[in-house]
Every structure is written in C-alpha cells, then in structure tokens.
Structure 1
Amino acid sequence: MTFRVELSQRAEADIKRAYAYIRKQGPADPKAWKAGLEQKLTGLETFPEACGLAPENEFVKAEIRQALYGSFRIVFTIREEIVFVLTVRHAARLSMSHDELDKIN
C-alpha cells in the first residue's frame, strides 16, 4: 500500500522556521537540509508503520509515530491512507503539549 503524505499547517510553519534558522545560523546548508527532509517525508509513503511510536503517543487515542531526520523529529499519525504530519521539531525541544495533542483527538 502506498500512503499520501500531508503536512499540517503547523508542520509547514515548523519547516519554514527551521529552514530560516539553518540559513541564518548554519552550520548545515539549508537547501540540502530541506531536500533531505523532503526525501525523508517521501519515504513515509511506504511502511510508515515501521517508524517507532512517539513519546506523545501515550497521551492520545490516535496512534502517533515519529521518524527521525538528523536532529529533528517528524511527528505524524496515520489516517487510513494518509500520513498526516503534525509537526517537525528539533529533538531537543519538548514533546508536543497537551493543548497541541487535544487537537488530534
């Protein structure tokens, strides 16, 4: 089965923010970072269930998984044939808040 990957508005904003930060602060090439991220997202089209459960999973009814990309976590849920990306955040950031998670249920 092939899944379709969709980004939430939050995930899109997260990616733009990370790109701007990398462009400004370095050390990575922001275009290479974004290309790699897009490749990782495309990889979720097949076997997203192979990704581990995210720490946030224990707080919601829906199953929440994560894929790691460098020092970033791609946090997503699977809805039928859609991989819905909730957020893309640096792994050093705190897990999603209860307010963010309430919007999932």
Structure 2
Amino acid sequence: MTFRVELSRRAETDIKGIYSYIRKHGPADPNAWKNGLEQKLANLEQFPEACSLAPENDYTREEIRQALYGPFRIVFTIREQRVFVISIRHAARRFLQNDEIDKIK
C-alpha cells in the first residue's frame, strides 16, 4: 500500500525556518539537509506504521507517530491513504501540546 505524504502549513513553515537557521549558522549544508528530509518524507509513503508512536500520542484521540531525521522529529498522523505531517521540530524542543495539534487538524 502506498500513502501520499502531505505537509501542514506548520510543517512547511518549520522546514523553511530550519533551512534558514542551518544556512545562517551552519555547519551543515542546508541543501543537503533538505534533500535528506525529502528522502525521509518519501520513505513514509511505504511503511509509516513502522514509525514509533510520538509522545503526543498519549493525550490525543488521533494516533500520532514520529520519524526521526538526525536531531529532528517528523510528527505525523495517518489518515486513510495519507501521511499528514503535523510538524518538524528539533527533538530538544518541548512536545506539541494538544491545542497545537487540534489547530492543525
């Protein structure tokens, strides 16, 4: 079964912000980071259920999963044939709160 990966507006904003931060502060190549992220997102098209449940899953009705990409968490949910990416955030940041998840749905 193949899934379609969709990004929330928040996830798109997260990507732009991370890219900009890497470009300004290095030392990584922001284009390499973005290409790797795109590959990781493409991998979610095949087996998103193989990813672990995210800590956010404990306080929401919708199943929330995460995929790790370096020090970042790709937080997503599976809706029928879609992988809906809620946020992409550094693992050191606090977990998404329930009201933040509800705003994105």
The TM-score normalised by the length of structure 1 is 0.96
Partner of 1:68: 68
Shift of 1:12: 0.2
Note the 1:58-97 alignment, pairs <5 A: 58-97=58-97
Shift of 1:27: 1.2
SS in 1 for 2:83: strand
Q: 1:70-100 deviations in whole A, cap 9, x for unaligned?
A: 0000000000000000000000110002321
Shift of 1:22: 0.2
SS in 1 for 2:52: coil
Structure 1 residue runs of 5 or longer lacking an equivalent are none
Give the % identical residues.
71
Partner of 1:18: 18
Give the conservation status (yes or no) of the 8 Å contact 1:56–1:95. yes
- 2-structure distance, mates of 1:104, 1:28: 30
Q: What do you get for the CA RMSD once the two structures are aligned?
A: 1.0
Structure 2 residue runs of 5 or longer lacking an equivalent are none
Q: Which runs of 4+ in 1 moved over 3 A?
A: none
- 1-structure distance, mates of 2:82, 2:92: 27
- 2-structure distance, mates of 1:63, 1:98: 12
Partner of 1:9: 9
The TM-score normalised by the length of structure 2 is 0.96
Give the conservation status (yes or no) of the 8 Å contact 2:76–2:85. yes
Work out the number of aligned pairs and report it. Answer: 105
